[in-house]
Chains A and B, each alone.
Chain A
Amino acid sequence: MSRVLLAPLDPVHDIGLKMIARGLEEAGHETVLLPPDLTPEEIVSQALVKEAQTLLISRTLGYGVAELLARFIDLADAAGLREKARIGIGGMAVRRELAAELGFDAGFGPGTTVEEVACFVERREYVPDPTRTHKEKADMTAGYDYGYRHPGIAAKLAGISALIMDWVKDKTSPGVERARLRDELWDVKRWRSREGNGALFDHYPALCGDVPRKFYESGELHPKTRRFTKDEVTGLENYLAEAKARMSVLKLQHTRRRPLVFNQYGTGCPFMDIGHILASEAWGADGVVHFDPSWGARTEGFLDGFLTHQEDGTVITAANLNRIGAGLEKSTLWQVRAHRGLNTPETVVLAAKLGADLTKINICYGSLGAGTDPERLTVDGYHAILYAKKYNLPFDVVTNEELAGVPAHKAFAGMLIVADLAVRLGARPILQPLFAYSPEVMIHGLMEDNYIDFNAAKVQALRGIVNAPIWPGAPIGFLTHTEDRVQSAMATALHACLAAALEVDAISIASTDEAYSGGPISAPAKVDTLRAVQECFRFLGQAAITPTAKADDYAAAITDGIERVLDEVLRTGDFVAALHAGVLGSREEGAYPGRAGKDTVRTAK
């Protein structure tokens, strides 16, 4: 037990000291708390009279703090107090560097815990507990039975799923064949043990496009990529080992369990990604999403090796994903996207074998908003779903075609078609509506008053149709962000608050660089948004956000619209033809059937 004198060196503020005093008393120390507005002489005198072994003083006001503290320490020296007591200084105006410079025994800045002060009083070294926030991976699909609450829509979706399954049953593609090779011939344990790729590459190059084929035949790399050097790899291993030893993670949700918070990485460089991911995890992200380059989606086949890329998007290779996955905290959910492009089914297989927790699949968005041929992506998406089921990988069904101008009800119809197909195939889809200031919203004035009603209506509409997990994205607040750091973080945080109030399962958030196009996203930009989201969750707690009556009208209109679109698909009698015909998003609405992979679907042998 120690005798501790606590004194505010301040005219009024002593709340922090009161909390510290209470904590020290609970820890068994004798404390004396002096009132505010005493002079330094009076405080030093009291410390001597009370025979304090520790003196803790606080200062909140910033004006003249350095001079005041310097005078205090001189006075304590002259009075002989320094020989009898250790002196610590804390408070909002105090920085550790200043305290050390002036000769205090300890300095405690804003955010100091009682435990830190108790360690000083008890002459123990303060070691932050790396497990202070214990997180575990959460399965956001648990508890959902995918039962329909809207029988009319359920019946129409059943009819469309039957059409798709009948259409794909005798079809295959180079993407499906590569996925089959990766599934059957690539043993990840042997590969990790440096025993090679088995017979995979005996057959794989023949199914690839020019860039990967040249790579396998002659070692030629994509012009924007390079291999890491040995010293970089060694450096990464050392960096990871040291950062992990210091690592702890924050929890963002305050008193709620949901929503889980995801952010995206994909600087182009797996090493920079790992640095960004560590920062995201430390500041509270529950999950991270792999963002690959757009040219990768237009390329038949994956490259191989440990590669960095000079532009946006980190190249998918086994080695890149393996390094990134190995660096993740045990609690971090890892999503690798397979929602568009020519490597969709193989992405699911590769990601699953390397330990991913989630993927992303949407035939409609990938066909209409992301450049992949509808016929090809219907075949590849179907097989991607089968692999997602096989490897127990839930996936979100993203609806980013809304950003091009497709109305929400059409995007949702496409999402529900893919989700229904997935459930019938035994997979676990997650609905991903956008929380966005979309072209539809702008044109029709759906958010003239607030950003709440239409976003809430989307969740309400989906919940009225099916009992499925909902994960708004991607990122929430899309097209509301500006280049201003404060506005951007706040826009995300307020949308996160709405998501929490709506009790959705997860959200994907942007960084504060979301609207900045001049360069790569920076680590501080990720941290700033996470901090803002944490503060908003703290602000909201268990309280509610109440949409206006318009939300009900919007939800009803979305539901009616979905039903009309499904009717139209059924009338077309062919899902792929419906995609081409604009039923799920027309050219006038900004949806263009993609061309990557055109004429590559063939009849299976």
Chain B
Amino acid sequence: MDKALERVMDALDVETFFVCGSEEAGRNYMLGLLKGFGFKDVDIVFAQYEGPGVRVRGRAYVYRPADRYRWLLTEADGGAGR
């Protein structure tokens, strides 16, 4: 895992405005983008489509509760350390 990602407490949000013709297209662009970044646990938090395109916020959970958080674990244990 990337060093910076290890420091994310829980989730990474990505937000933008896609020029597209429907909300569904915008949602798919965002999910594709997040998966393209290598994230597996991804979702759309918010999307609003109007004529020019879609305002969208996607989320990738780096950790879910009960995972082993690398920001918590020490270097020796393979974590990010502090």
Residues of A within 8 A of B (CB): 226, 229, 231-232, 234-236, 238-239, 242, 267-269, 271-272, 275-276, 279, 308-311, 482-485, 513, 516, 518-520, 522-524
Contact = CB atoms under 8 A, between A and B. Distances in A.
B28 interface: no
Interface of B: 9-11, 13, 15, 41, 43-46, 48, 57, 59, 61, 63-66, 68-69, 71-74, 77, 79, 82
Given A272-B65, A308-B65, A522-B10, A484 B48 contact: yes
Closest 8 CB pairs of A and B: A269-B65, A268-B65, A235-B72, A483-B46, A267-B65, A522-B11, A518-B43, A308-B66
B45 A518 contact: yes
Nearest to A225: B66
B9 A232 contact: no
A272 B77 contact: no
B74 A234 contact: yes
Contacts, number: 85
Nearest to A278: B9
B40 to A, nearest CB: 13
Contact of A242 (B43, B46, B82): B82
Given A268-B65, A309-B65, A485-B57, A235 B45 contact: no
Contacts of A485: 15, 45-46, 57
Given A518-B43, A522-B13, A226 B66 contact: yes
8 contacts: A232-B68, A235-B69, A271-B69, A275-B10, A276-B9, A516-B45, A519-B11, A522-B9
Nearest to A483: B46
Interface centre among A231, A235, A485, A518 (most CB of B within 10 A): A235
Nearest to A237: B72
Q: Which of B41, B43, B68 has the most CB of A within 10 A?
A: B68
Contacts of B64: 310, 519-520
A235 B59 contact: no
A522 B74 CA distance: 23
B6 to A, nearest CB: 12
A232 B11 contact: no
B72 to A, nearest CB: 4
Contacts of B68: 229, 232
B53 to A, nearest CB: 16
A520 B10 contact: yes
Contact of B66 (A236, A310, A513, A518): A310
Contacts of A232: 68, 72-73
Nearest to A269: B65
B43 A239 contact: no
A309 B64 CA distance: 10
Contacts of B11: 519-520, 522, 524
A195 to B, nearest CB: 28
Nearest to B64: A520
Nearest to A308: B66
Nearest to B76: A231
Contacts of A239: 71-72, 82
Contacts of A276: 9
Given A268-B66, A522-B9, 11 more contacts: A232-B68, A235-B79, A239-B82, A267-B65, A272-B9, A275-B9, A308-B66, A516-B46, A518-B43, A519-B59, A524-B11
A562 B9 CA distance: 46
A239 B71 CA distance: 8
Nearest to A522: B11
A238 to B, nearest CB: 7
A235 B67 CA distance: 14
A562 to B, nearest CB: 39
Contacts of A524: 11, 13
B72 A519 contact: no
B45 A238 contact: no
A310 to B, nearest CB: 5
Contacts of A522: 9-11, 13, 59
A264 to B, nearest CB: 14
Residue among B48, B72, B74 with most chain A CB within 10 A: B72
A524 B12 CA distance: 9
B61 A269 contact: no
Contacts of B73: 231-232, 235
